[in-house]
Structure 1
Amino acid sequence: MNAFGFIQIALLLSSATIISSLQCNHLPLQRRKVIENSLRLLDKMGKKFPQQCLREKMPFRFPTQVLQPRQKEAVGVAIEEIFQHIFYIFSKNLTLAAWDGTALDQFQNGLYLQIEQLEACVIKKHTQHHWSKEVSRLKLKKYFQKIDCFLKDKQHDLCSWEISRAEMRRCLQLIDKMTRKLKN
């Protein structure tokens, strides 16, 4: 390969890095749009919260401290982790949920795309910034395991899914609130 070929490859690599960096810089704005869309789709997926499910509500207690680290990058890592957990929960035994399938598919696709984008940005920045991994990840894992166990204990019935959907709404609203704070 001649010198011109090396220059072309170097230019391609540097432009890919610039494009990727620009994508990562605009991620909070994209994330807010994805969250707003996800909240809309969560509403569209089901109807009003069924009255018969009110007595079964569970206090899952989202660990809000995982969204309050000092570095923006750490919040990005936490949000990626949360999206992965939500995606996992909404990819399981949904037969009794009786939700709008199109809205559910769009919800899952939006989460998946956001996870992909966040992973690409987090991998790059992860070498520079360390998220207080273990404590925060364990807290998130415990929180989502509670939801998963609740669904299993209730055999993924309609009320357990509706309660989980309401909890995911609260979770996404917390992420949205934190994203708006970081922007300011």
Structure 2
Amino acid sequence: MNAFGLIQIALILSSTTIISSLQCSHLPLQRRKVIENSLRLLDKMGKKFPQQCLREKMPFRFPTQVLQSRQKETVGIAIEEIFQYIFYIFSKNLTLAAWDGTALHQFQNGLYLQIEQLEACVIKKNTQHRWSKDVSRLKLKKYFQKIDCFLEDKQHDLCSWEISRAEMRRCLQLVDKMTKKLKN
């Protein structure tokens, strides 16, 4: 079983849980800070997008419907999974990325800490969300698999990492936008 399969098993095991709004009411504000910091670190990690990589751009198409649920718990679970997938992607073969190592480690640590906090706030309920069987979850998985396959097909070269970094920036911006809406 590959690492992507292992992360999927971990996600399925936690899928029968929801985030307790009583215990974790502070998470949306923390999440926004983590996202803002992650976006800053993504910019700091690399320099300007290399011109030679423009012709290799891929239309990954983030499945925005995963963040459009009316239930905060469902969106919270989706955001946790997004963070887990991003962490997985940015924990791979980064030798050709040519990024600032300190910024990269801070980025990884910020994601990891947020995942840990989200998992600490997850509790089992009798009325469990059916997120695990949701079409949105499958679309999210396909989105990140497409990025993972793109990196592998390009042998984790500089351009594939820069394209992936730009895509993760767009992904985090969408999560940030939804987090702002959840607060209201």
TM-score when scaled to structure 2? Answer: 0.85
Aligned length: 184
Alignment of 1:1-184 (within 5 A): 24-124=24-124, 128-131=128-131, 133-184=133-184
Once the 2 structures are TM-superposed, how far is the Cα of residue 18 of structure 1 from its aligned partner? Answer: 17
- The change in CA–CA distance for 1:95 and 1:23 in structure 2 (over 3 A counts) is farther
- Structure 1: gaps of 5 or more residues: none
Deviates more, 1:118-127 or 1:107-116: 118-127
Provide Cα deviations, 1:43-62, integer angstroms capped at 9, x if missing partner: 00000000000000000000
Change (3 A) 1:132 1:179: same
What RMSD over aligned residues (CA atoms) do the two structures have, in Å? 10.2
Percent identical: 92
Aligned structure 1 segments of 4 or more residues deviating by more than 2 angstroms = 1-23, 122-134
* Aligned-pair CA distance for 1:25: 0.3
Identify if the C-alpha distance between structure 1 residues 3 and 167 changes in structure 2 by more than 3 Å, giving closer, same or farther: closer
- Distance of aligned partners of 1:70 and 1:22 in 2 relative to their CA distance in 1, 3 Å threshold: closer
Whether the 8 Å contact between 1:67 and 1:178 is mirrored in structure 2 is yes
Aligned 8 A contact 1:45 1:101 in 2: yes
Contact 2:86 2:168 in 1 (8 A): yes
| DSSP-derived class of the 1:18 partner | strand
Residues 88-147 of structure 1 deviation map (CA, whole Å, 9 limit, x = unaligned): 000000000000000000000000010111112233568554436431221111000000
Higher helix share: 1
Q: What's the secondary structure of 2:19's corresponding residue?
A: helix
Q: What is the distance in 1 between the residues matched to 2:98 and 2:70?
A: 41
